[in-house]
Amino acid sequence: MVNLAAMHCNSSDFLTNAPLFVGSLGGDFSSINDHSEVFNRCDLVEIRWDLIDDVASEEQKAVDFLLNQTRPLLHTARVPAEGGKRMMPIAGIKTVAAKIRPGDLWDVELATWLNEEERREAFLQGWGEIAPILVLSFHNFSVTPSLDELKKRRDQARYAKAHIFKVATYLETETDVERLLALQNEDAGIAVATMGMGQFGADSRIRCADAGSVLNYGYLGSQPTAPGQWEVGKLRDTFLELKKGESRVD
């Protein structure tokens, strides 16, 4: 059984390099001719297992390449209720979870982790003795809940021994953006990653990174894996240019 207390204590070294830019690799790798180039465009690659068709040779080549590298990966098998393409069966979760390597991260929906005991145990059994950095996430594709509601979910993630709480919500107004930034700016004893979708989504991803979001997602390949995503290289370069401009003004 994975030692969750040990997992919680071993995340500090990784998070000292935040903000990190995550390239999400889903089901369309057609624009990636050289698999090694993904590491030039982002700090961390996310494999979206729920978006990958196991029989597609190009996808399998890319995944095999990534798994054979020493750099950490972020693994995600999103459920349909929170943006996933398909519900992976329990056996599939164990198979994919067994691919975890020391230093890797794993993203599980907070609701799944807290309420779906069978699926949570499948992750734990698949990991064996390897303890990944645990990201517990919350997605709302319709609205941005109240700040109190977001704090409640963040605190649930902290009590569950997650290293990172990730939240992605639909932004209808500037007030919604400010709500995410308020959550990001509060020190609550857990690393937080915030991002938005919708009309204000693209802008929010720069502003949240600037506020300290530890994981900042863009897509690799030719298609976004979530609404409001930038291509990850452009997201990272835009953020770095912003910070360079700020330092020149100072």
Residue type, position 138, single letter: F
pLDDT by 10s per residue, the chain, length 250: 334 334 444 444 556 667 899 988 765 655 555 666 677 788 899 988 888 766 566 667 778 888 888 889 999 999 998 988 889 899 999 999 999 999 999 999 999 999 999 999 999 999 999 989 999 999 999 999 999 999 999 999 999 999 999 999 999 999 999 999 999 999 989 999 999 998 898 899 999 999 999 999 988 866 666 667 788 889 999 999 888 877 666 5
Question: What's the predicted TM-score (pTM) here?
Answer: 0.88
Contact 21, 194 (CB under 8 A): no
Q: E-assigned strands of 8-102? A: 20-25, 44-48, 73-76
C-alpha distances (whole Å) from 209 to each of 7, 121, 134, 142, 235 are 24, 33, 20, 22, 10
Tell me the pLDDT tens digit for each residue of 31-82: 555 666 677 788 899 988 888 766 566 667 778 888 888 889 999 999 998 9
pLDDT of residue 62: 76
- Which domains, from first to last, does the chain contain? 4-249 (3.20.20.70)
pLDDT of residue 174: 95
pLDDT of residue 86: 87
pLDDT of residue 181: 97
CB atoms within 10 A of CB 82: 16
Residue type, position 5, single letter: A
**Interhelix angle 232-249/201-211, nearest 10 degrees:** 50
